[in-house]
Amino acid sequence: MNDAREIDPVHAEFEQPMRLALAEARLAMDDGDVPVGAVVLDATGQVIAAGHNERELTADPTAHAEVVALRAAAARLGGWRLAGCTLVVTLEPCTMCAGAAVLARVERIVYGAVDLKAGAVGSLWDVVRDRRLNHRPEVIAEVLAEECGAVLTEFFARRRAG
């Protein structure tokens, strides 16, 4: 990451929520799941929900961190429309999660590590910016990208070694 990005105020604004998402990611790793974590912020920037990958724990292929956090946010707010909310996630969302964020009408997606194999927020696909959709969230990429990537690297290194 370049020095300009490290002092970028937009990225700095989301460092603390991303650290909370990283803590969620570590919980997934403790459960033997790929360490991805997410938090949802309301329009004031307050955390209203959190989640981490639970696919192994629940045997649910849709239990990605983003979906878990979006479901919790909707339950907390009492409705599926998450207008004004920000989804903060440690790894660039896949097509399912990017689609879920669009359908939930989140205002913004903030992610850490780029996912060149399955990323759908600009890397492999760009679901959230497809002009054919009626809602396109703002995207802020690579917040604490190195730290987010390091958790994933550690997880897969342990898995290969063990």
Q: What is the CATH number of the domain that holds 116?
A: 3.40.140.10
Per-residue pLDDT of the chain (162 residues; tens, 9 = 90+): 444 445 688 789 999 999 999 999 999 999 999 999 999 999 999 999 999 999 999 999 999 999 999 999 999 999 999 999 999 999 999 999 999 999 999 999 999 999 999 999 999 999 999 999 889 999 999 999 999 999 999 999 988 887
Q: Tell me the catalytic residues.
A: 66
- Structural domain includes residue 1: no
φ/ψ (deg, to 5) at 104: -80, -5
pTM comes to: 0.93
First to last CA, the chain: 31
**135 labelled as ligand-binding?**
no
Residue 3 lies in a domain: no
* Residue 132 included in any domain: yes
Q: Does residue 4 form part of some domain?
A: no
Q: Is 85 annotated as a binding residue?
A: no
Whether 147 is in a domain gets the answer yes
Nearest to 64 by CA among 115, 112, 25: 25
| Number of structural domains found in the chain | 1
Q: Which domain holds residue 17?
A: 9-161
